[in-house]
Structure 1
Amino acid sequence: MRETSSRLLSLLALMQSRPAWPGSELAERLGVSTRTIRNDIDRLRELGYPVDATRGAAGYYQLGVGAKLPPLLLDDEEAVAVAVGLRTGAGVSGMEESSGRALAKLEQVLPHRLRRQVNAIHTTLSKGPDNTGSNVPDPEIDPVVVTTIAAAIRDEHYLRFDYAVPGQESSGPSLPLLVEPYRLMSWQRYWYLAARDEAGEWRTYRVDWMDLRMATGRKYKPRPMPDGDYTNFVMRDVATAGWKVHARITVFASAEEVLARIHAAVGIVESVDEKTCVLVTGAESLEVVAVYIGMLGFDFHVTAPEALVDHLKIIGERYLRAIESRTD
């Protein structure tokens, strides 16, 4: 019985390693007859593994899609990597509970030697805060919202939702938006959706600002972005319109020098002359914008917003007081 169980695990591992296997090749790999392979396939099906079979001279076996999730086979390195990733990965705010449940289930089936490895890493590893780059709390993302949007993209269904940008709420009720969803993107701890609006224009929507309405069930005819570069589109769109704070800054350096210090997609750089350019960028707070532009390492002048000018005055006075305290 132990030999049969071990062979079943080996058979399952082989079938998970590539899409299709001829029965004769499986028999050769495991050193058994094709009849034994057929019997083992039947046992896997009884255990809940959906195995599809194509008959004939060119026949083969492959794992199918079943109604329930059977146990996964991971080698030692894969099991440790998944467990450590669940413990230390930043993940998505709002999914901590489901990540914890997945980790608990995995650790229950880890062999003692692997559990010791995972615990050793866990007890000796320190992890810095995920929100180091911002003084703004991470938005809570409902996993159901993400999976619903992903399903609409997969099925090419229109998506309908209310959209409220903090600080820009209208006084009266607004009609829900109807869009063609194309791509989800996770960036800087936020989730975004790239979609076409009813006018056919490409737009970026923050997922945590969306309130989904009832599913439409209506299919749309896909019209993908011509170059397919959704990532750069989302980043550029967010840089110009997707932040709570937007800034326009004159930098006393060439556009090439500024672009060499930032990602081209997180800010729009407009050349003025060989020694001057304008940077249009943003962030979730004045404090974060101030830090980013200070890290450029160039002299600059803030054109807008006025609140950023006031904040820089406060920071400048604070830094001057720090210097004066050393000379007293």
Structure 2
Amino acid sequence: MQKTSSRLLSLLSLLQTRRGWSGEDLAERLGITPRTVRRDIDRLRELGYPITAAKGPAGGYRLDAGGHLPPLLFDDGQAVALAVALQTAATGTTIAEDAARALTVIRQVMPSRLRHRMDMLRVTAVRPPESGDASQVDTQVFTDLSTAIHSREELRFDYAQDRNAAAEQQRRRVQPHHLVTWSGRWYLLAWDLDRDDWRTFRVDRIHPRPPTGPRFTPRELPGGDVPAFITSRFRGSDGTTTDWPCRGEVVLDLPATAVAPFAEDGIVEELGPDRCRLALGSWSWTGLAATIGRFDADIEVIGPPELNAAFAHLATRYANAARTTTAP
């Protein structure tokens, strides 16, 4: 049998994992009698943990939320996960600063063994270069959007199409669905009531206009999967597939090892020491041709015909650019 102190910690850990436990279940998990469970529950209550007992023949216990709680209990895995999550939380927002302060406070109440493990984890969240100098997202905006999503209430807000064009804001009315991150930025996924379609909005360009509107019944997202839907939208498809809307194949006069690191989610097949087949996708045929053209090698188009046409279009454009002279 465990010592009383370690048994209390094990009991508290079990109570934190789910809403309610019967006395018999707790006794079986801990290898003690139901009477000992009742005594240990009383000890935890004396320490300040709000544990309520449910009525019934078997009895039951639940750790309630709220009130003043003693220091939280974390195991090794939870401590590591917490440190990583707080160090990488909400990059590019004011919440990141709050997360850093929260990590400092939580570290102070950790046992020395767990403090050491947390101190070993130094993670830096790097914003993608393409995010540029995007505006910081205010914590209050996050709170307003999250509250509306949870309450299922319509949102009204002013939306700037360009962060440098504050005077050109549009009034939008939406049914909010999810907050998501993509390439270091935060977006609101919502049903646009005026455009009768799903839309994504940069959170740093949203200026909520309280109060919120009437409650609504959430619509079914195409495909039912938020990550897949967001991926498809940013790739330019209709939301029912995560694949690129334009996909083609070419043969490059380059070794597969030289192409693979820059092919992102493409498929590279080795055809010889200095040739490879590349299957790649993009949001447009012209964009696909331009992406393939960055490889400094001869290109043989396998298909489809739309990709051949895109290369011809770019060839004409580049030829015109080459003939253009700039006056001194």
Where on the TM-score scale, by shorter chain, does this alignment land: which range? 0.5 to 0.7
Q: Are 1:179 and 1:198, in contact at CA under 8 Å, matched by a contact in 2?
A: yes
Kindly report which structure 2 residues correspond to 1:215-234, keeping only aligned pairs within 5 A, or say none. 215-216=211-212, 218-234=214-230
Cα distance in 1 for partners of 2:297, 2:186 equals 30
Which runs of 5 or more structure 1 residues have no equivalent in the other structure? 242-253, 270-276, 282-289, 314-328
Does 1:92 find its partner at 2:91? yes
Whole-angstrom distance in 2 between the partners of 1:67 and 1:109 = 18
Residue pair 2:71, 2:109 contacting (<8 A) in 1 also: no
Q: CA offset at residue 191 of structure 1? A: 0.9
Contact between 2:79 and 2:118, CA under 8 Å: does it hold in 1?
A: no
| Among 249, 266, 279, the residue aligned to 2:287 | 279
Cα offset for 1:162?
0.8
Distance 2:186 2:203 in 1: 5
**What is the identity, as a one-letter code, of the residue corresponding to 2:91?**
V
Does the CA-based 8 Å contact 1:161-1:213 persist in structure 2?
A: yes
Aligned to 1:154: 150
For the 8 Å contact 2:83–2:121, the answer to whether it is kept is: no
Query: Does residue 1:197 correspond to 2:192, yes or no?
Result: yes
**Which structure 2 residue ranges, 5 or more long, are not aligned?**
238-245, 251-259, 267-280, 300-309, 323-328
CA distance in 1, matches of 2:30, 2:311: 71
What's the offset of the Cα at 1:103? 1.2
Change in CA separation of 1:149 and 1:167 when aligned onto 2, cut-off 3 Å: closer
Change (3 A) 1:167 1:192: closer
Per the alignment, residue 37 of structure 2 pairs with: 37
Deviations 1:137-196 (A, max 9, x none): 34312233223212211221111111111168486775x322101122111111111111
Once the two structures are superposed, the pairs formed by residues 61-210 of structure 1 within 5 Å of their partners are 61-66=61-66, 71-87=71-87, 89=88, 91-93=90-92, 94-122=94-122, 127=124, 130-134=126-130, 136-166=132-162, 169=165, 176-199=171-194, 200-210=196-206
TM-score under structure 2 length normalisation = 0.66
Aligned-residue identity in percent:
38
Q: 1:5 to 1:297 in 2, by over 3 A?
A: farther
User: How many residues in Structure 1 have an aligned counterpart in Structure 2?
Assistant: 272
> Root-mean-square deviation (CA), in Å?
4.1
Q: 1:12 aligns to what?
A: 12
Letter in 1 for 2:283: I
- Residue 58 of structure 1 and its aligned partner are, at CA, apart by 4.6
Contact kept? 2:161, 2:168, Cα under 8 Å:
no
User: SS at 1:182's partner residue?
Assistant: strand
Q: Which has the higher contact order (CA 8 A, sep 6+)?
A: 1
* Equivalent position SS for 1:256: strand
